[in-house]
């Protein structure tokens, strides 16, 4: 490889961005198929043989050709800017994820922190959309979103920090490196690992606004939440951003708890393993989504503040104690 580093990074960014967009499109098909099977349906079938594999492309074409409606009462600038502000952080989070040793845009030494910080920006786009639409449903949805994100950001961060403490580094490749060996994955770390993974999954469900935490787009109450006024390509951008964020979080979960690209076989299988593990995390979240019903606002807040936050704080302290006094396999 004789490319200068900056050109290599630009090339990687281009490849990763496009690959992510394709994967995101097909993740929607995966979810629809998965949900359909859970409900004894077949799911998308007619567009493309076999099993409707052209469906995401057809959807994208349809959304691109739809009329772009802007409500008269909307706050035009905020309304038009919101999908972009929403999308950018959701794509930026992939910047620090290494898909194999040395194969990533930038393996920063603050990788995990960068991921958490950038994904925290997503909320700005969300309430811009909710407020800019000038619609009661959208505004209520944005309020609920802000409410929920305040509650679940902390447990999410603390749960994600447990592997960081155990590995003794915030660099993603170092965290994967610390999980080498049989049963070395942090998921298999006695007690702390499993509890932290559960906390991570629950906080992910809430952060992604998925059932049972989807009060902000509760169809029966709020139509479609903060995106109710969006149509055509802007709607597509919002959907894209949500799935990209979901996929990014799945990658993070696979990296923090499931050993990233580690797996049997030759080294070039690494990215394949990583993708498979990320899809496992994604399907786990999807499985919960299609199994449970929506819970009330007060229940959501109670779960966060009374259960998840103390639990994740305790786990963080426990892992710090293990590393400081015990024979942890970290620093």
Query: Residues interacting with other proteins, by CB under 8 A?
Result: 75, 78, 108-110, 113-114, 116-118, 120-121, 123-124, 127-128, 131, 139, 142-143, 146-147, 149-150, 153, 157, 170
Q: How far is the CB of 211 from other proteins (least distance, A)?
A: 23
- We find the least distance from the C-beta atom of residue 20 to other proteins, in angstroms, to be 21
Of 167 and 279, the one with the shorter C-beta distance to other proteins is: 167
Q: Which is nearer to other proteins, 146 or 288 (CB)?
A: 146
- Phi first, then psi: give them for residue 47, nearest 5 degrees: -90, 100
Task: Give the nearer residue to other proteins in terms of CB position, either 35 or 146.
Answer: 146
**CA–CA separation, 216 and 294 (whole Å):** 11
Q: How far is CA 7 from CA 3, 15, 105, 323, in A?
A: 6, 12, 11, 39
Q: Which is nearer to other proteins, 151 or 250 (CB)?
A: 151
Q: Are 85 and 125 in contact (CB under 8 A)?
A: yes
- Shortest distance, CB of residue 124 to other proteins, whole angstroms? 5
CA distance 18 to 62: 20
Smallest gap from Cβ 116 to other proteins, in A, equals 6
DSSP per residue, 202-260: HHHHHHTT-TTS-TTS-HHHHTTGGGTT--HHHHHHHHHHHHHHHHHHHHHHHHHHS-T
Q: Is 110 or 295 the residue whose CB approaches other proteins more closely?
A: 110
Question: Which token pair is 196?
Answer: 């932290």
- Compute the least distance from the CB of residue 56 to other proteins, in Å: 31
Distance CA 99, CA 93 (A): 13
Q: Least distance to other proteins from the beta carbon of 140, Å?
A: 9
Name the residue nearer to other proteins (CB basis): 21 or 108.
108
């Amino acid at each position: 490889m004789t490319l200068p580093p900056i050109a290599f990074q630009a090339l990687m960014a281009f490849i990763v961005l496009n690959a992510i967009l394709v994967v995101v499109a097909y993740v929607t098909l995966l979810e629809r198929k998965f949900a359909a099977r859970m409900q004894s349906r077949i799911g998308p079938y007619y567009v493309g043989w076999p099993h409707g594999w052209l469906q995401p492309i057809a959807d994208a074409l349809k959304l691109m050709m739809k009329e772009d409606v802007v409500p008269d009462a909307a706050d035009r600038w905020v309304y038009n800017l919101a999908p972009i502000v929403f999308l950018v952080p959701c794509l930026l989070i992939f910047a620090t994820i290494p898909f194999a040793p040395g194969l990533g845009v930038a393996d920063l030494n603050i990788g995990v922190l960068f991921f958490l910080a950038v994904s925290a920006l997503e909320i700005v786009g969300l309430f811009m959309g909710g407020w800019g639409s000038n619609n009661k449903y959208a505004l209520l949805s944005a309020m609920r979103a802000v409410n929920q994100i305040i509650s679940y950001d902390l447990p999410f961060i603390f749960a994600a920090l447990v592997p960081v403490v155990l590995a003794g580094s915030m660099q993603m490749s170092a965290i994967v490196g610390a999980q080498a060996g049989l049963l070395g994955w942090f998921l298999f770390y006695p007690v702390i690992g499993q509890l932290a993974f559960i906390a991570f999954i629950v906080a992910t469900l809430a952060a992604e606004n998925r059932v049972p935490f989807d009060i902000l787009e509760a169809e029966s109450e709020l139509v479609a939440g903060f995106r109710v006024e969006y149509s055509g390509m802007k709607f597509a951008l919002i959907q894209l951003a949500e799935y990209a964020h979901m996929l990014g979080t799945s990658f993070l979960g696979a990296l923090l708890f499931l050993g990233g690209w580690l797996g049997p076989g030759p080294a070039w299988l690494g990215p394949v393993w990583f993708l498979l593990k990320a899809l496992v995390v994604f399907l786990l979240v999807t499985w919960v989504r299609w199994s449970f019903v929506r819970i009330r606002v007060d229940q959501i807040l109670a779960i966060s503040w009374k259960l998840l936050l103390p639990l994740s704080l305790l786990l963080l302290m426990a892992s710090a104690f293990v590393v400081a006094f015990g024979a942890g396999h970290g620093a």
